[in-house]
Amino acid sequence: MRDVRHLYVHLPFCASRCGYCDFVTVVGRRGEQGAYVDALLAELALEGGVLAGPPETVFLGGGTPSFTELGELARLLEALPPAGELTVEANPETITPELAALLRRAGVDRVSLGAQSFQPGLLAVLDRRAGPDDVRRAVYLLRDAGFDNISLDLLYGIPGQGAADLDRDLAEALALEPEHLSCYELEAKPGTRFTVAHGAELERQAEAMEGYFERVVDTLTAAGYRWYETANFCLLPERAGGRDLRARHNLGYWLGRDYLGIGIGAVSTVGGERRRNLPGLARYVAALAAGTRPPREIELLDGDTRARERLLLGLRLDEPVALAEVAPAVDREALDRLAALGLVEVSANGRGEELRLTRRGRFLGGAVTAELLA
């Protein structure tokens, strides 16, 4: 089987750890980056056979890919197969003219910057190293280097945040004219230091979340962005010289396509299997140095599980899902009820029946999808 078209590469290293973060990260340990890049390339050599030629998309995510030592990052990018879209995640304070030029030379055509907020007080609550000026400077440096596809990540529901702060963050982000924006509800894992420290305030934020979500959607759509996925927005083609600026890599996930993930904690979905590499750095590097596969968990995905996932992810998009693809996962009675309530829209055309959430349904999102599940 050689039909995987999306490659994810995990670079876990970060300068420090942000309290709210639940991603697989490794703090500091720069001296281990060379061995880690060797291991990534060894894993790609072992697993890359599933790729159907050059991938449509490659995504370097983290951690902080832009914290990788420049020589190692260049070596990695050079060894990766060419792709139709090559995205690198970056933290604002790591962007220098040298890094921006290196990324550009290496064929990176999309940079996803973790801004999170433009309010110094809120950035401090999140333990972010970058201040608002670092975010702006990073965007200018990337523009100077020739990047014309920049995405900004924002968070809402941050302890201490109010609606006016969110409005200011959205305005500051829009002033930078990014091609793409990801706006996430802050998720705080129960039992973490962050959650214990901000417990009562996180509860207050949880109550405000629905209102924040509507504010984000209303503001960004009014500013000419397409709300193409629950948390993702891109400039409308008519504002972008006809370009479709949706994140093609993530679109692959939402459309239920197979993908190969390499690196610690990376997940792959390949031909009915979900493979999850374990998070330990030393064991990962040692296994690949010995020419063996890294420690990982394998889950078999049956047709029903895939249909459920396809429904859950597909309904996050503003385009319809073919009912035939998700039929085993859909409760028909619930579908009729939700359609009558104006939360789901069923349409029929030459390709058969299709469903999507209405605008109101999208605001309720997960709750509607949960009810729809058989």
Ligand X SMILES: C[S@@+](CC[C@H](N)C(=O)[O-])C[C@H]1O[C@@H](n2cnc3c(N)ncnc32)[C@H](O)[C@@H]1O
Token pair recorded at residue 119: 């309010």
Token pair recorded at residue 108: 């990176």
**CA separation for the pair 272, 277 (Å, rounded):** 16
Q: Does 91 bind ligand SF4 (CB under 6 A)?
A: yes
Phi, psi of 321 (to 5 degrees): -105, 135
Among 58-66, 257-265, 349-357, 359-367, the segment contacting ligand X (CB under 6 A): 58-66
Q: Does 63 bind ligand SF4 (CB under 6 A)?
A: yes
Q: Does 62 bind ligand X (CB under 6 A)?
A: yes
Angle between helices 97-105 and 132-144 in degrees, nearest 10: 40
Give Cα 64 distance to the centre of its chain.
13
Q: Does 188 bind ligand SF4 (CB under 6 A)?
A: no
Q: Does 184 bind ligand SF4 (CB under 6 A)?
A: no
Please identify, using beta-carbon distances, which residue of 150 and 240 lies nearer to ligand SF4: 150
The rounded radius of gyration (Å) of the Cα atoms in the chain is: 21
* Residue of the chain from 8, 9, 10, 25 that contacts ligand SF4 (CB under 6 A): 25
Residue 17 contact partner, candidates ligand SF4, ligand X, none, CB within 5 to 8 A by sort of partner: ligand SF4
Q: Does 186 bind ligand X (CB under 6 A)?
A: yes
Phi, psi of 235 (to 5 degrees): -55, 140
The residue whose Cβ lies closest to ligand SF4 is 21
Q: Does 320 bind ligand X (CB under 6 A)?
A: no
Residue 268 contact partner, candidates ligand SF4, ligand X, none, CB within 5 to 8 A by sort of partner: none
Please name the residues in contact with 286: beta carbons below 8 A apart, sequence gap of 6 or more. none
Q: Does 21 bind ligand SF4 (CB under 6 A)?
A: yes
Please identify, using beta-carbon distances, which residue of 185 and 318 lies nearer to ligand SF4: 185
Dihedral sign, CA of 27, 10, 369, 341?
positive
Please identify, using beta-carbon distances, which residue of 18 and 51 lies nearer to ligand SF4: 18
Q: How far apart, in Å, are the Cα atoms of 281 and each of 37, 286, 344?
A: 11, 9, 44
Please identify, using beta-carbon distances, which residue of 24 and 44 lies nearer to ligand SF4: 24
User: Which segments of 48-116 does DSSP mark as H helices, in order?
Assistant: 70-79, 97-105
Scan for tokens 């996930």, then name that residue: 253
Please name the residues in contact with 4: beta carbons below 8 A apart, sequence gap of 6 or more. 50, 51, 52, 55, 258, 259, 260, 270
Scan for tokens 């970060």, then name that residue: 14
Residue 359 contact partner, candidates ligand SF4, ligand X, none, CB within 5 to 8 A by sort of partner: none
Q: Does 132 bind ligand X (CB under 6 A)?
A: no
Mark residues 249-268: x for contact with ligand SF4 by CB under 6 A, - for none: --------------------
* Residue of the chain from 4, 9, 11, 14 that contacts ligand SF4 (CB under 6 A): 14
Residue 142 contact partner, candidates ligand SF4, ligand X, none, CB within 5 to 8 A by sort of partner: none
Give the footprint of ligand X on residues 145-184 (CB under 6 A). 153, 155, 184
Please name the residues in contact with 207: beta carbons below 8 A apart, sequence gap of 6 or more. none
Binding site for ligand SF4 (CB under 6 A): 14, 17-18, 21, 23, 25, 62-64, 91, 114
